């Protein structure tokens, strides 16, 4: 078969996005150009690859088989190109990253100057969203996620971990007082997650006591960055990731609460990649660099603040 690699790449996006028009919009070309590329590809294969109807499209059996091989072909081509360019000038090209807004703001953004200084040929496209991305459909190279990752099509490399602690702003404690026991929290304004119910189960440290406290919340939000902002502005008490809470604690903007009463198990942070792409030099370069950054942040979080007199 005489295949044009660009036609193969376009076909994979048609399959992932589900419509010709979506693939055309992504490339900023007319739908007719996408249709011609698909027709050209089907002629080269000698088989119909797509069923087209007024309701959308679906892959034929031949199209499904071709899609599996097409992804391997494109990944091999990208890996070869990256390896060759990497040997000449280091990791290069665009890396599309999916990450939560708060992690993007507190970890990824501060790290970029150092990443670009080390690898000048890299470029990042950052998708900051709390929702889990469909990596194949959205063209994501690296998704940075907390907790467990289970998928046969993905590779997850642990690049760090974090704990969670209850925090409030000094302004809130001045207005409403400081809780001394978990039971006193029922009289306080708590900020909860509306998108991740597991974040609203606060596990108690005492094995003889209740296993956890389920928080309904005086205020709820589906965005971790907004949750942090709400606490900083004195709206209430919340359980916050130590990675970005510790620096604010050292600055006096947040106060930790009930640390002896609530458990803070370490939660892994993973760089999640498509199985066929995780070996690309540009992707390895990013994951290794962010593993260094998270290790440095964890070390800083353990350091005693010299201003606290201990």
Give the lowest-confidence range in 84-88, 160-164, 216-220: 84-88
Model confidence band, residue 307 (pLDDT cutoffs 50, 70, 90): very low
CA distance 105 to 192: 20
Q: Is the pLDDT of residue 306 over 60?
A: no
CA distance 116 to 33: 36
| Assigned architecture for domain 90-162+267-303 | 3-Layer(aba) Sandwich (3.40)
Q: Is the pLDDT of residue 308 over 60?
A: no
CA distances from 13 to 40, 91, 248, 272 (A): 16, 25, 43, 20
Q: Are 136 and 96 in contact (CB under 8 A)?
A: no
The CATH fold assigned to 5-84 is Arc Repressor Mutant, subunit A (1.10.10)
Model confidence band, residue 109 (pLDDT cutoffs 50, 70, 90): very high
For 117, list phi and psi in degrees, rounded to 5. Answer: -65, -35
Q: What is the pLDDT of residues 37-46, one digit of tens each?
A: 899 888 888 8
| Assigned architecture for domain 164-257 | 3-Layer(aba) Sandwich (3.40)
Determine the pLDDT at residue 167.
97
Q: What is the pLDDT of residues 45-86, one digit of tens each?
A: 888 888 877 667 888 888 888 888 887 787 777 767 766 665
Average pLDDT value for residue range 231-253:
93
Within 13 Å, how many C-alpha atoms sit on residue 238's CB side?
A: 30
Instruction: Give the three-state DSSP class for 83.
Output: helix
Average predicted confidence (pLDDT) for the chain: 85
Which comes out higher in pLDDT, residue 143 or 212? 143
Average pLDDT value for residue range 19-42:
88
Determine the pLDDT at residue 265.
84
Same fold, 90-162+267-303 and 164-257: yes
The enclosing H or E element of 148 equals none
The domain limits of the chain are 5-84, 90-162+267-303, 164-257
Q: What is the pLDDT of residues 166-210, one digit of tens each?
A: 999 999 999 999 999 998 999 999 999 988 888 898 988 877 767
Is pTM beyond 0.75? Reply is no
């Amino acid at each position: 078969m005489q295949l044009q690699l660009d036609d193969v790449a376009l076909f994979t996006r048609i399959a992932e996005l589900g419509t010709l028009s979506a693939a055309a919009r992504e490339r900023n070309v007319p739908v007719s150009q996408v249709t011609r590329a698909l027709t050209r590809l089907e002629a080269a294969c000698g088989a119909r690859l797509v069923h087209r109807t007024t309701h959308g499209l679906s892959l034929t059996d031949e199209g499904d088989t071709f899609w599996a091989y097409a992804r391997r072909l494109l990944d091999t081509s990208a890996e070869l190109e990256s390896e060759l360019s990497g040997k000449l000038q280091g990791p290069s090209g665009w890396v599309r990253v999916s990450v939560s807004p708060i992690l993007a703001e507190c970890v990824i953004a501060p790290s970029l100057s150092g990443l670009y200084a080390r690898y000048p040929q890299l470029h990042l496209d950052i998708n900051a969203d709390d929702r889990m991305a469909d990596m194949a459909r959205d063209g994501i190279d690296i998704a940075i996620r907390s907790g467990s990752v289970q998928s046969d099509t993905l590779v997850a490399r642990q690049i760090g971990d974090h704990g969670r602690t209850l925090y409030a702003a000094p302004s809130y404690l001045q207005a409403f007082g400081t809780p001394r026991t978990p039971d006193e929290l029922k009289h306080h304004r708590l900020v909860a997650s509306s998108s991740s119910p597991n974040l609203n189960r606060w596990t108690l440290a005492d094995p003889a006591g209740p296993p956890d406290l389920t928080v309904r919340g005086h205020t709820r939000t589906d965005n971790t960055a907004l949750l942090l902002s709400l606490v900083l502005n004195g709206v209430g008490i919340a359980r916050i990731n130590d990675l970005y809470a510790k620096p604010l604690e050292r600055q006096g903007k947040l106060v930790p609460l009930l640390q002896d009463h609530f458990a803070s198990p370490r939660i892994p942070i993973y760089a999640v990649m498509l199985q066929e792409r995780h070996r690309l030099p540009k992707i390895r370069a990013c994951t290794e660099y962010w593993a260094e950054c998270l290790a440095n942040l964890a070390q800083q979080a353990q350091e005693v603040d010299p201003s606290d007199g201990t």
